Amino acid sequence: MNRAETPFAARISGWVLTIGGAVGFLAAFTLIVEKISLIKNPAYVPTCSINPLLSCGSVMQTSQAEAFGFPNPLIGVAAFPVVITIGVLVLAGVRLPRWVWLGLQTGTVFGLVFVHWLIYQSLYRIGALCPYCMVVWIVMITIFWYTLLRNLHFGVIPLRNHKTLLSYHGLILTAWLLIIAALIGIEFWDYWQTLL
């Protein structure tokens, strides 16, 4: 009965949190491992440094990579497991109190803002793309989005006309990610051209 009433966008929040959290955790964990290798051996070339543009070695050594004075992926290593845990609880059918959802929403808003700041820095200041970081960008936006939709549907966040958002969840998310992809395409146009 619950299945029929709950829209798809709100129903999949458990899966999004679990899978998204796991993917985000793996990316953040890999970045930390690469960072440690880089500290141990400054000449180390990280596995994701493919060419001057797709490179996490150069990105990792910027000041933006330690926005709060410590490597950014530490936040992911600590926070994504929380997302996984909440996702698993949702899948297990546990009803979580409103404040947990508000807390998760607050966390994802922080992550969302941080990730967009990093996108801006990566594109327009550093001028390089770090593949694992981009995985985190996608995952973070997706987690935020479906947490928001879930909270809108269950009234955790009161907003009157939220039905449209829920019914066009995939379109909005796709458009969001495509805008970022387009910005990347435009900014590094010179480079993409050399691949043609």
Partner 1 sequence: MPPKKRQKSRNRPPAKAAAVAKPPARSVRLSPNMKFTAGLIGLVLVIVGIIWWSNRDEPAAAAEQLVRANSHKLSAAADGKVTLVEFLDFECPSCAAAYPSVERIRTEYAGRITYVVRLFPLTGHKNAIPAASAAQAAANQGKFEAMYKKLFESQGSWGGKETDQAATFEQYATELGLDMTRYKTDVAAQATSSFITAEVTDAKTVKVTGTPTFFLNGKKLTTTPTYDNLKKAIDEALAS
Q: Token pair for residue 40?
A: 């141990």
Residue whose entry in the numeric block shows the structure tokens 């546990």: 94
Kindly write out the interface string for residues 27-66 of this chain, putting x where it contacts partner 1 by CB under 8 A and - elsewhere.
Answer: ------------------------xxx-------------
Choice between 155 and 185, CB closer to partner 1: 185
Find the shortest distance in angstroms from Cβ 190 to partner 1: 3
Only one of the segments 11-19, 29-37, 98-106, 167-175 lies at the binding site for partner 1 (rule: CB under 8 A); that segment is 167-175
Report how far residue 80's alpha carbon sits from residue 67's, in angstroms, rounded to the nearest whole number.
Answer: 18
Q: Can you tell me which of 32, 103, 175, 184 binds partner 1, judged by CB under 8 A?
A: 175
Report how far residue 118's alpha carbon sits from residue 130's, in angstroms, rounded to the nearest whole number.
Answer: 11
- What secondary structure does DSSP assign to 51-113, as a single string? SSSB-SHHHHTSGGGGTTSS-THHHHHHHHHHHHHHHHHHHTTPPPPHHHHHHHHHHHHHHHH
Q: Can you tell me which of 29, 62, 127, 162 binds partner 1, judged by CB under 8 A?
A: 127
Find the shortest distance in angstroms from Cβ 179 to partner 1: 10
Q: Token pair for residue 158?
A: 């009161």
Residue 54 main-chain phi, psi, to 5 deg: -90, 95
Residue 170 binding partner 1, by CB under 8 A: yes
Find the shortest distance in angstroms from Cβ 46 to partner 1: 17
Find the shortest distance in angstroms from Cβ 182 to partner 1: 8
What is the helix (H) or strand (E) element at residue 40, kind and residue range?
A: helix 13-40
Find the shortest distance in angstroms from Cβ 126 to partner 1: 9
Residues lying near partner 1 in the complex (CB under 8 A): 8, 51-53, 125, 127, 167-171, 174-175, 178, 182, 185, 189-191, 193-196
